[in-house]
Amino acid sequence: AQSVAQPEDQVNVAEGNPLTVKCTYSVSGNPYLFWYVQYPNRGLQFLLKYITGDNLVKGSYGFEAEFNKSQTSFHLKKPSALVSDSALYFCAVRDIWGGATNKLIFGTGTLLAVQP
Amino acid sequence: DAGVIQSPRHEVTEMGQEVTLRCKPISGHDYLFWYRQTMMRGLELLIYFNNNVPIDDSGMPEDRFSAKMPNASFSTLKIQPSEPRDSAVYFCASSFRDSGADTQYFGPGTRLTVL
């Protein structure tokens, strides 16, 4: 079955420092991978996705993610963190079982806290 | 585009009462998803529709939960009777089948409290 794992419940980083939020995946076939962000009292917002092609995917708000097939990882990165980046981040993979589907399988989420 | 619209934003009810949550997907989207989010269980997919037809309801917790999509612009999630353990934030999301990997757009959620 398709799955993603986010090994860190929380990541703390100082403003201006680079940040990484980790995600590993387990899929059969080619993975379709996503990152979403959830700000307090809001719904999830799409950040970026990987389908195929360049392993470095650029998304909203200066975020990017690197697809690494050998390590089955899709880590979210940003060169310089902002306090406003503090939020809950979800990794997700598209579930392809049962035929064509738009169903996403979400990770447990990682809380990013950026200290000023 | 107004995005996915959910109502009400907050609902407080007493145990045993019927609760109806509403969702209007983004115009032109052909998939609609209902999720539930709690601290204990995280984000759970309850049910999703394609072209108004329920495709996968395996996440619906029990018979007290039901969902309908009478047309392309409206869906409801009903809980009858409600219980305190149903307290959660319920999200609706919609998407459009594009080139193969499909972005879901989430509504702001309905925070349900069952006393």
| Structure confidence at residue A29 (pLDDT) | 80
- Rounded distance between C-alpha atoms, residue B96 and residue A5, angstroms: 26
Q: Over 60: is that where the pLDDT of A14 sits?
A: yes
Give the pLDDT band (50/70/90) at residue B62: confident
Q: Do A102 and B4 touch (CB under 8 A)?
A: no
| Structure confidence at residue A104 (pLDDT) | 87
| Structure confidence at residue B100 (pLDDT) | 55
| Structure confidence at residue A88 (pLDDT) | 96
pLDDT digits (tens, 9 = 90+) for A58-107: 999 999 999 999 999 999 999 999 999 999 999 999 876 655 567 888 99
Give the pLDDT band (50/70/90) at residue B109: very high
Q: What count of Cα atoms within 13 Å lies in the side-chain half-sphere of residue A64? A: 11
| B22 DSSP β-pair partners | B7, B76
Task: With H, G, I as helix, E, B as strand and everything else as coil, classify residue B84.
Answer: helix
Minimum distance, in Å, between the CA of residue A66 and any CA atom of chain B:
17
| Structure confidence at residue B97 (pLDDT) | 76
Q: Do B48 and A43 touch (CB under 8 A)?
A: no
Q: Do B91 and A49 touch (CB under 8 A)?
A: no
Q: Do A49 and B42 touch (CB under 8 A)?
A: no
What number is the average pLDDT over the span A8-17?
A: 97
Partner residue facing A108 (CB), from B42, B45, B97? B42
- What's the Cα-to-Cα distance from A63 to each of A31, A114, B40, B56, rounded to whole Å? 20, 14, 28, 32
| Structure confidence at residue A15 (pLDDT) | 97
Show residues of chain A in contact with B33, CB under 8 Å. Answer: 102-103
What number is the average pLDDT over the span A9-13?
A: 97
E strand map for chain A: 3-5, 10-14, 19-21, 24-26, 33-38, 44-50, 56-58, 64-68, 73-78, 87-94, 104-106, 110-115
- Rounded distance between C-alpha atoms, residue A61 and residue A41, angstroms: 19
Minimum distance, in Å, between the CA of residue B76 and any CA atom of chain A:
18
